[in-house]
Structure 1
Amino acid sequence: MSNLIQEKVLLSNLGIEAFNEMQTKSFQTIQDQNEVVLLAPTGSGKTLAFLWPIISQLNPEIKQVQCLILTPTRELALQIEQVWKKLGTGYKVNVCYGGHAMQTEIQNLTTPPALLIGTPGRIEDHLVRDSFRTQDIKLLILDEFDKSLQLGFHEQMATIIQRLSHLKKKVLVSATPCPDVPDFVKLKHPVTLDYIVNDQHNHKLQLHWVRSTDSNRNKIVVQLLSTFKDETALIFCNQRETAESLCNYILSHNIAATFYHGKLEQEDRELALIRFRNGSVHFLISTDLASRGLDIPEMKHVIHYDLPGKLDEFTHRNGRTARMYESGSVYVLASHVDHLPKYIDPNIPEFVLPTATSIPLAPQFTTVYISGGKKDKINKVDIVGFFLQKGKLAKEDLGLIDIKDHYSFAAIKNNKVNSLLKNVYEEKMKGKKYRIQIAK
C-alpha cells in the first residue's frame, strides 16, 4: 500500500481530515532517523505522531514483538492502545501494567503482538519470566519518559533497554521543555523536534490570579466555578485528601463534580474520567495524575487550588486547556500577586470575582452502568438498539457509550433516566438480562 493510500485509510479510520504539522514532521523524521526526541504539549496529538510511523516499521511476516512502548502509567498505556486500535492496522497489540492479572497477560503473550505497550515495572517482570522474545524488537518508544523517571522507574528502564540488543530506532517523547535524557538510553546523535510553547507566552492561554486565603479557598473556588456557566474545568490539588475534601465541598453546594487520584481503585478512576468525558459532570478535581497522559477532552478552564513546586508541572497542568487552535483560561489562587512563585509572571492580571453569582448550569447527562461488556459480546450498537427499542429513548437522549471488558457505561439525558431504568428492568439484551442502574 502506498504512503498516500495508507494515509487516506488511516484518516478515515480516525475520523479526521488531516494530520497536523507536528504529526507529519514526526512521521518523516522517525522514518528517516534512528534517534528522535519529540517534545510536544499535552493534547497536541503526539500519541498519533509516534504511532503513525510505527506501521511502516512492522513486518507482517514476523510473528513476534517488533515494537515496545514504555509509559509511566496504566492510563496512558490504555490510551495508546485505543489510538492504535482506531488506526485499524491489523497488527495485534497487547498492554501490560500493574494491577492487571499477570497470568492473563502471560496467556495473551503466547500469541505475541507486533506492538507491546506497558509500564516499566510490569515489562521488566515479563522479561524476567521470558514471557516474550526480544530478538525482533527493533523500535523502542519511551512516552513521557521524564515522568517515568520521576516515578522511580530508572532502574527498570535501564534493565529493559539493556535487554533490547537488536534495537535500530529509539524515540523519546515528552511534554516537558528540555528534559534530561538519562545516559542508559545511549543516544548518540538524536534529532529533536520541539513543539512546546512557553505557557506564559502563549496568546491563546489567559493567565489570571484570584485573591484568596487559606480559610476561604473552597468558597472562592465555588464562586469561580459559578462564573463558568456550562463550561468545563479541571482543578488541581497537590494532595489527594485535598482533592476529595474540595470535591465534597463543591458537591455540598449542589454543583456536579468528581475527584480523581492515584489511590482510587481502577474502576473508580475509570468512572470518574468517563463521567467527565461524557458530560455527566463539568468539574474534575485531581492531583497531578491528570496533568498529562489521560484521555480527557479539552477544557476551557484550569484552576490551581494548590500550586506545584516546579515550572514543568505548572506547564503540564496548563496544557489541559488552550490546546492547538483553542483558547483557555488558567486561574491561580493566591493571597497576593507578590506571593506567587518565581516561575509565574508577576504581571498577570487579577480576576475579580463578581459579588453575586448563581451556581453553574447542571450537566444534561447522567451516567448509567450496564453489567455487560466486551467479554459478553456486547458492543455500542447493541446498547444503542436496546435503549432505543426497549428503553424507548430517542437518539438525542443518548450520549457517549464506553464499553469495558465486563461492564459498560452510557450517558443518558437526565429527564429520561428514570423512565429508561423502568422500561428495561425486565428486558433482555441479546438474550440475557443485565443489571442496569445509575453509576455510583
Structure 2
Amino acid sequence: MQTPDSPAASPFAAFGLAPALLAGLADLSFTEPTPVQTLVLPAVLDGQDVAGQAPTGSGKTAAYGLAILQQVDVALPQVQAIVLVPARELVLQVRDAIKSLGKHLPNLRVAGYYGGHAMRDEVKGMQEHQLPHIIVATPGRLLDHLERRTFIPNQIKSLVLDEADKLLDLGFQEEMATIISRLPRRRQTLLFSATMPDKVLNLVREHLTKPRVMNAGGEQEGSRLPENLTIHGHLLAAENQKPAALYHLVSQPEAGKSLIFANTRDRVEELARFLRGRGLLADALHGKMLQPERDKAMLKLRNGSIHILVATDVAARGLDINDLGTVVQFDPPHDADTFQHRAGRTARAGATGTAHLLLTTPEQHKIQPWPVTSSVQWARLTPPPLPAALPKPPRPSTVTLHVSAGKREKISRGDLAGAFVSLGGLEREAVGRIEVFDHYSFVAVPEEVAAEVQARMDGAKVKGKKVKVAVVR
C-alpha cells in the first residue's frame, strides 16, 4: 500500500522515473516539480533535444540530471553523459547535485574535471575500472582529456550545455565545437541558458537536432529573477557612506548568510577585513585565490563557520548556497546580466531571499533603465554610525576541520562521520557538514569542542589510514 510520502506516490512518479531516482528525490525532500522541470522533463525523457531558457535557481540542474540518470547503464563501465559548464565552482555544484539525485543507483560514478585541479589526479581516476558514468567539466579541461585519449567518447548518450550564454561569453565556442565533433552523432543534446541572444540561438541551430525550444524564464519578459526575491535599491548621499550601509544591512538578525559582490579583488579583501574588524564572521573569495582556498571559503559559509562571503563576479559564478538569505551589490553591476546573476544567487528553488543595491544617484541613473531592474524598490538610506573596530575577531559557532584524506584514499562522508563520533567523541547530531575532495576533506564541528575533537582526531586512523587534522583558518 502506498503512503502519501512514499516515492511511488510522489508527483515525480508521473514522469516515469526509475524507483531509485524517486527515492533520491524523496531523500532531498523534492516533493513538487518546479515549473522548469514540469516543462522540460517530458520532452527530455522522450529523447528529444531541448533548448531551454531558464533562470538561476529554477531547478534546471535536477531537470537534466534526472534525464541523464534515467538513461545511464551503471553496469556499463563507460562514460555515457557529459555536462559542460563555464566555471569550476559550477562543476562541483552540478557534480554533487547529480550524485545526490542518483545516490540509490548502485555503483554510479560521477566525476568533476576543471582547470586548476591536478590533471594527474583526474587521469589516475579514469583507469579502465574506474571510468565515470557521467562527467561534469569545463570545456577546456574536457578537451584536454579528449586530446590525451584518457577516455573514448563512443558510448556518449547525452550532452548537456549548461549556462550556454556564459560558456560563449567566456570564449569557449571553439572548444565546444571541437568536443561536439568528437562525440557520437546519435546522442541527445540539451542546452540551457538564462538568456537566448543570437549567439546562443546559433549554437542551437548548429548542434541540436530538431530541438524543442522552451522558455521557463518566468512571466515577465526581460526579468529572469526568482519570484520570491525582494530587491531593495538604497540611495546614498555619497560613496563614503557605503561601508556603514553595508554593515547596517548584513548585521541585521534577519540577514542570515550573506553574499557581497565587489568589482575588484582588492575591494573584496578590504571589505572582508572591514567586516571582521567590526565583529562579523566574513571571508573573501576571488580569482587570485588558489582552488583549495576557494573551497575552504565556500565550505565555511555553507557550514556556518562564517556568515558572510565577499566575492568578485568571476569567483562567484555558479555558486549555489541553498540557505543564502541576503545578497548585497556593494559596487554597481557593469551590465544587466551581471545584475541578474548577482541578485539571483538568493531566493533559489522556491525559497525567499533579499537582494540589496548600494548606489549613489549617478549609479542609479545608469542601471534604472534596464528592464531586469523594474522590480527594485528604491529608497533613500542614511546609515547609522559605524561601531568601533574590535580588538579581536569574533568566535564562530562552528569550526571547520581539515582532514588529510579524501576520495582517492577511499574515504567517504560516512567514514568521517563515524570516526568523529567513535574517535572524536562527538554526538552524531553534533557532526556538521562534511565535504570530501580528492585528497582532503572538511568537517564542521561545534566551536566549544573543536580543540578537543581536533586533538583526538589528529593522528587517528580513519578506515585504516592515519590522518592529520587541523583547524581551517
TM-score when scaled to structure 2?
A: 0.82
Tell me, which stretches of 5 or more residues in structure 2 are unaligned? 1-12
Equivalent residues in 2 for 1:119-268, closer than 5 Å: 119-176=138-195, 180-181=199-200, 183-185=202-204, 186=206, 187=208, 189-197=210-218, 199=223, 204-212=228-236, 213-228=238-253, 231-268=256-293
> Following the alignment from structure 2 to structure 1, what is the Cα–Cα distance between the partners of residues 124 and 18?
37
Alignment-derived partner of residue 452 in structure 2: 419
Q: 1:269 offset after TM fit, Å?
A: 0.6
Is contact 1:376-1:406 (8 Å) kept? yes
Question: SS of the residue aligned with 1:72?
Answer: coil
Amino acid at match of 2:52: L
d(CA) in 2 for partners of 1:40 and 1:346? 19
- The SS at the match of 2:310 is strand
**Residues of 2 paired with 1:347 and 1:13: CA distance?**
36
Give the partner amino acid of 2:434: I
Q: CA deviation at 1:247?
A: 0.9
Root-mean-square deviation (Å): 3.1
CA 1:128–1:43 in structure 2 vs 1: closer, same or farther (change >3 Å)?
same
**Maintained 8 Å contact 1:11/1:18:** no
Q: What is the percentage of aligned positions where both structures have the same residue? A: 34
- Quote the Cα distance in structure 2 between the aligned partners of 1:101 and 1:135: 25
Q: Give the Cα separation in 1 of the matches to 2:259 and 2:173.
A: 30
Q: Counterpart of 2:216 in structure 1: which amino acid?
A: Y
- Map 1:397-412 → 2, pairs under 5 A: 397-412=430-445
Structure 1 residue aligned with 2:118 = 101
Q: Which letter does structure 2 place at the counterpart of 1:8?
A: L
- One-letter amino acid of the counterpart of residue 166, structure 1: R
Contact 2:398 2:447 in 1 (8 A): yes
| 2:44 equivalent to 1:42 | no
Shift in CA distance, 63/345, structure 1 to aligned 2, threshold 3 Å: closer
Given candidates 78, 96, 101, the residue that maps to 1:64 is 78
Distance 1:27 1:95 in 2: 24
Unaligned runs of 5+ in 1: none
Change (3 A) 1:340 1:270: same
Cα offset, 1:353, TM superposition: 5.3
Q: How many Å separate the matches in 1 of 2:384 and 2:97?
A: 45
- Going from structure 1 to structure 2, the CA distance change for 1:432 and 1:31 (only over 3 Å counts) comes to closer
Q: CA deviation at 1:385?
A: 3.6
CA–CA distance in structure 2, aligned partners of residues 327 and 376 of structure 1: 39
Given candidates 86, 89, 107, the residue that maps to 1:75 is 89
Q: CA deviation at 1:61?
A: 6.8
The CA distance in 1 between the partners of 2:408 and 2:225, in whole Å, is 48
**Cα deviation digits, residues 382-434 of structure 1 (max 9, x gap):** 43344334433334543212222222222222222233334545755455543
Matched position secondary structure for 2:379: coil
Residue type of the partner of 1:72? P
Residues of 2 paired with 1:6 and 1:428: CA distance? Answer: 33
Deviates more, 1:22-31 or 1:430-439: 430-439
| 2:362 pairs with 1:339 | no
User: Which of 368, 373, 381 does residue 352 from structure 1 map onto?
Assistant: 381
Distance in 2, matches of 1:188 and 1:278, equals 43
Of 394, 400, 405, the residue aligned with 1:367 is 400
TM-score between the two structures when normalised by the length of structure 1: 0.88
User: Which is further off, 57-66 or 263-272?
Assistant: 57-66
After superposition, where does 1:287-306 map in structure 2 within 5 Å?
287-289=312-314, 291-306=316-331
| Aligned amino acid, residue 365 of structure 2 | H
Q: Secondary structure at the residue paired with 1:53?
A: helix
Distance in 2 between the 1:84 and 1:371 partners?
25
1:190 alignment partner AA = P
Q: Quick check: 2:244–2:383 contact (8 Å CA) kept in 1?
A: no
SS state at 1:141 partner: strand
Residue 125 of structure 1 aligns to a residue in which SS? Answer: helix
User: Shift of the alpha carbon at 1:156?
Assistant: 0.8
Deviations 1:175-205 (A, max 9, x none): 3365742535514643223222355886532
For residue 5 of structure 2, what is the aligned residue in structure 1? Answer: none
Deviations 1:213-266 (A, max 9, x none): 333322321122222456111111122221112111111212111111222111
- After superposing the two structures, state which structure 1 stretch, 175-184 or 266-275, moved more: 175-184
**Quick check: 1:291–1:316 contact (8 Å CA) kept in 2?**
no
